[in-house]
Amino acid sequence: MLDTNTEKNTEFTLPITLQPERLDKVLAKLLPEHSRSRLQGWIEAGHVYVNAVAVTRQRHVVLPGDNITVYEQASPEELAFEPEAIDFPVVADTPQWIVVDKPAGLVTHPGAGNWSGTLLNGLLHRYPELKNVARAGIVHRLDKLTSGLMVVARTPEAQTHLVRQLQERSVKRHYAALVHGFTPSQASIELPIGRDPHVPVRMATNGSAARAALTHYQTLRHGLDREGRAYSELACQLHTGRTHQIRVHLASQQHPLVGDELYGGKLVLGAERQMLHARALAFIDPATNEWVEFESPLPADITAVQESIEWKTQLLPSAG
């Protein structure tokens, strides 16, 4: 029997404007922070009630006005996540969300080869209530060697709100990037991204199961190092959020990030990681519906690399 006193529950009443639809499809819309397979598993296990009656068929059709209660279950993997005292800067926090400034080198979420020592473990230590939120409130990720701003949900309700904003592409995410070569003054790169069929750790614009991806950038300045090698400083904006998106898109234009060896960048000028920083973040506060904005200064390692370059007073002709 389901112990409804020990599990977190989410309740919805379907609007009268809703068309009759399968239960699993409705839940995918109502709870976008959870995978379809996870929601289907909850249905089959009897953790979803329609009008106070447990429903175990995914294809059960729900109707306008139906009341749905979902008793959310933590996955075995999530139950295994342990709080750890890990240092990371918190830019701001409210009862609904947290904005952190992730340092380079810190993995966002546990996974193969990194089951501990991650931002998620640190969040659970600093904010114990996050054990009641899927993935400890993490709604988007930064690569291990990318630094900068991330928003973390502090409640299931805030998580749903923030995930929807990300899906609707209303969250503003701006990145500072340093690349090889002289880039055009601005460009939009619209190329689908999927897993590289030949190198599984890489993504590619011709990868398997590629999904639409759009990155816009503006070139801030061009410069040369002492050996005459060209560089560009970019302000990038994500319109989608695919894995390694900025890295893949810039490399596809023959302008890989400095330090990004996976995608053709070079470890030059003292760079020890890809020169990419999530510099600005803006979203709608789930509690107040007000627009909130945050900025993060460039880390010292990126600043040091920039100082090794002689920057020009105007943009130079691009190489592509």
Distances, alpha carbon 78 to alpha carbons 150, 183, 263, 316, in Å? 20, 43, 32, 51
Residues 24, 101, 143, 260: which is the catalytic one?
Answer: 143
Which position has the token pair 């904006």?
237
Q: Using an 8 Å Cβ cutoff, are 180 and 155 in contact?
A: no
Buried b (16+ CB within 10 A) or exposed e, 33-51: bbeeeebbebbeeebbbbe
Q: CB count, 10 Å around CB of 294?
A: 16
DSSP 224-261: E-TT--EEEEEEEEESS--TTHHHHHHHHTT-PBTT-G
Residues in contact with 36: Cβ distance below 8 Å, sequence separation at least 6, in sequence order: 24, 28
N-to-C CA span, the chain: 64
The helix (run of H) or strand (run of E) holding residue 194 is strand 193-195
24 is catalytic: no
- Tokens for 237? 């904006």
Rounded Cα distance, 267 and 198, in Å: 24
Buried b (16+ CB within 10 A) or exposed e, 269-290: bebebbbbbbbbbbbbebeeee
Query: Catalytic amino acids?
Result: 143
